[in-house]
Structure formats: structure tokens, C-alpha cells
Amino acid sequence: MKIALITLGLLGIATTLLPFLRRDAWWIRIFDFPRLQITFVTATTLVVYLFTGWHSGLADSLFVVAMLSCLGYQGYMMFPYTRLASKQVEQSVNPARDSTLSVMFANVLQDNRQADKLKAIISEIDPDIILAVETNDWWKEQLQSIAGTHPHTVFQAQENTYGMLLFSKLELIDPQVEFLVQDDIPSIHTRVRLLSGDELTLRCLHPRPPFPTEDERSTERDVELLIVGKEVNKLGVPAIVMGDLNDVAWSRTNYLFQDVSGLLDPRIGRGFYHTFHAEYPFMRFPLDHCFHSNHFRLVDFKRLGYYGSDHFPVYIKLSFEPDGAAEQDELQADASKQHEADQKIDQLSGPA
């Protein structure tokens, strides 16, 4: 029993320490994801160890302190996404219809064939903008009917699980598909005109995750996020960045993206909103994100129902309230973080 507990404790310590290595190898970066699972296993191991195996010797005491330190660090990284933390985005009190924007985005799972269930969710929620990723020609055909109610569209269907379809009731201005880092990974860049006439910039992303069957390092994913973050910050206009970012809310890259972009995360102070894996409750992570500038306040935020994909869809409704922007502190990266982002981007001189 004690050997098993020590083994589990050492695994918890090792998987906590590995992400401190500033390396992009997948087998290091992958441990950014299961912080909640590492915390649960380490906490359980600690409790059982204290009651069954601890003899108050120096080695035992150091082992217990190491596990407590790991729990403290994991809690620190996840704390902003608990209800105990202060909300980063204020709740809108009396949103004006012409100044609201509702978005729904979903990783459909390319091989999933339950398109009718997704369309039923879309019909019930009736968002202004719909983003579907992992969409190929089959999904494009299945979702084509949405264009009847959402006539402004951008289609980039692909067979490599990185296709994207965008549908909008609102006018899209100068929409473009770009391949920022890898020549088979698209992103959608457009401006959106609200019913009030106000405009915002929208970026839809779906970079590759650091995983051996996808990408053996996180560099390309991180660089794509940081390029978009720096661009949005430079524009200095109302902005939304959304999609399956294949990164967890509590990773160093996610926090760096927020710093260099200045964008806010409406989940902070509200909850994890795990979206993947839809079929395995114990192995869930918040991979699908919506960040926005401080020109917006939150009206509604939901994780929607299961429809056969490995991701749950997400629904967010925002209210454009620029007069209250100063009440929501815009994030700003200090010189060291800007330097870190620039160094990361410099690792790639062109398309990989």
C-alpha cells in the first residue's frame, strides 16, 4: 500500500513540475491540461498516506510537504476559474437588443454523423453567429440549410479535421481565411457590424494541439495564438477571439495570450466550463474559448448539450457597452511578457 501511495504521490509531483520546463515538447506541455485530475489524485493520495503510511520521519515529512506544495500550485493556477475569484467580465444589467451579439461555436468531430442533433441545438438557441470546426464537405452539406437564417457565410471545408464554417445573421465585413502558421490550418478573420451599426473584429481559430498524432510540440499552436493576440492588441478596437484553441484555460500560454492581447475571459470568476471530452466526465478540460475586449459585458454563458461530438458546444451572449469599458480593467503585458511572446513567435520564421 505504501509503495503504491508513494508512486502516485511522485507521479503527482512530477506531472506538476514538468510544465515548469520552458520546452514545447508535447510530453511536457500535455501536463498543462489535467491540472484538476492531478489535483484530485494527489489530494486523495495525500489523505490516504497521512492516515496509513506516514511515520513523521524526515523523508515522510518532505514527501508530504512536496505533495502539499503541488496541490497549492495547481490550486493557484486554477483558482481564477472558480466562483471564489473575482469576475473579470461584469454582468450586463440592461442590454440593448441592437447592441448584443450571441455566438455559438462547436467542434463537431469530423466523423460524427449526428448533424440533426446539432441543428436542433442551433434552432433552439438561435445565435447571431455560428462557428463550426472540424467540418469537411459532408458537414458543409449538412449545415447548408443554416444559411437560410444566417446568410453571411465563410466556408473553408477541409478533410484534415481543421475545416471551418462560419454562419452569421449579422453583416460580415471583408471576411478572409488565413493560414497564419501552418499551410493546412485555417483561421477566419472578419469584421462584424452589429444592428446598432457598431463594428467589431472577430477572429476564429482552431490550432493543432501538442499531441503525438497531431503535433509533437506546442510551438505552432502557441505562435498562432500569440500572433492573433498581438494583432488584436495593436488594432485597439472592439474584438472577439473564439474557437477550439486546443489549450486549457489555466496554461501559461493562455495567460500569456491574455496579457499580450488585452482580452478578457468571461469564465474567470464563473467556472471551468469544461468542453472536452464530452463522453468521459473524469477527463474533461476547458478547450473551447471566447475572449473579448473590455468593450463588452456578459449577458449569458452556457455549455450546451451533447450531440455526438467529443466537444460540447458553447453559447455566449455579449452586450456592447463601450462607455463602461474603463470599469473592466484591460490586461497589459509587461516588458518581460512581451519579450517572451516575441521570442516564441521568432521560433517560427514562416509556415511550418
Q: What residue segments make up the domains of the chain, in order of their start?
A: 2-81, 97-346
* pLDDT tens by residue, 17-32: 999 998 899 999 999 9
Quote the radius of gyration of the chain (alpha carbons, Å). Answer: 21
The DSSP output letter for 215 is B
Q: Note the pLDDT of residue 351.
A: 45
Strand positions, DSSP E, the chain: 100-107, 129-133, 152-156, 164-168, 171-178, 187-193, 199-205, 239-244, 288-292, 296-303, 314-320
Q: Note the pLDDT of residue 32.
A: 94
Which set of grid coordinates corresponds to residue 80?
481564477
CATH superfamily of 97-346: Endonuclease/exonuclease/phosphatase (3.60.10.10)
**pTM of the predicted model as reported, rounded to 2 decimal places:** 0.93
Query: Within its chain, how far is the Cα of 112 from the centroid?
Result: 22
Q: Note the pLDDT of residue 99.
A: 97
Cβ neighbors of 280 (< 8 A, separation 6 or more) are none
For the chain, which ranges sit under pLDDT 70? 53, 349-352
* DSSP annotation string for 138-180: HHHHHHGGGGGT--EEEEE--SSS--EEEEESSEEEEEEEE-S
Residues 195/170, Cβ–Cβ less than 8 Å: yes
